[in-house]
Structure 1
Amino acid sequence: MTPQEFDAFYAASFSRLTGQLYAMTGNWSEAQDVVQEAFIRAWDRRRTFDPDNAPEAWIRTTARRLAVSHWRRLARGLHLAGRHQRREPPTVEPPTEEHLMLVTALRDLPESQRSALVLHHMCDLSVQQVAVETGASVSTVKSRLARGRAALAARLADQIPSSDERELRV
């Protein structure tokens, strides 16, 4: 991947990946940090980084593993970002109120259910792909999705005003 192709890939996917990792971690700053670190690691291997071989999945998996382990290479990241990034990073819009409600509800779920839900519904991965990315079996992923959806629906029902309450506000 040429530096220009990498820059285009970064610009096109940084915001989306940050949003996905924010939904997984529940922490906006941490999501930005781990996605940036994953891009730095991809930059280090850009000559062998295949744009046809699901590069976003590689970045997302790497960022998710970094978030789980809390292991950072901040000094190296700052050095590489200053040396290789000639332009300002893309502007990331703040999350909407609905997104914040979703992340708050997701934060209450066990990490395994939260990851399965985000990877399947927000990242549009198949159940098989979620299984590969998380190292779980297909049946385990299906179980996590079913339990996670039920728990998420219950949590969101508590946060969303009923139609009668909405009419009173108008």
Structure 2
Amino acid sequence: MDADDGFEEFYRTTRHRVVTVLYALGGDLSEAQDAAQEAYARAWQRWNTISGYGDPEAWVRTVGHRLLINRWRKIRNGVTAYRRHGVAPSVGPPSENTVALVTALRQLPAEQREAIVLHHLADLSVAEIAAQTDTPTGTVKARLSRGRRALAELLDTTLPEEVSNA
């Protein structure tokens, strides 16, 4: 857009009034400023059409007000959803067994860890793991076997006494 097309002058002469009106309507200065900025950006994009209106400032105020209303709706809907569903239930800390398992898995070589996790936690077959990792099935089987053996040794030393004797 050219600086001579009148938008800059329109913006300079109307921005204070528009923000003031939106602030009075919404009660939040930063929200009013954001809505006014967005409304002016939309006006600038359509300035060839809007500049021909009898009162382009009214168009900007209307768009700004609608933007404020949409923000209020989003907030209200968020509060309604929060009230309907409540606070997410708190999740307790991980068990000692979970911590021991994760610690042991971290000590395995990456290929063995990947095979064990995909097989036992993601319930993938050996063939699916082979396809996903682009590895021969025999290699996947070997990684699972070695990984299980190493994991058993690691868990045997890290599990609490009462769990390892059970």
TM-score by length of 1: 0.41
Larger radius of gyration: 2
Bigger RCO (CA 8 Å, 6+ sep): 1
> More helix per residue: 1 or 2?
2
Q: TM-score with structure 2 length normalisation? A: 0.42
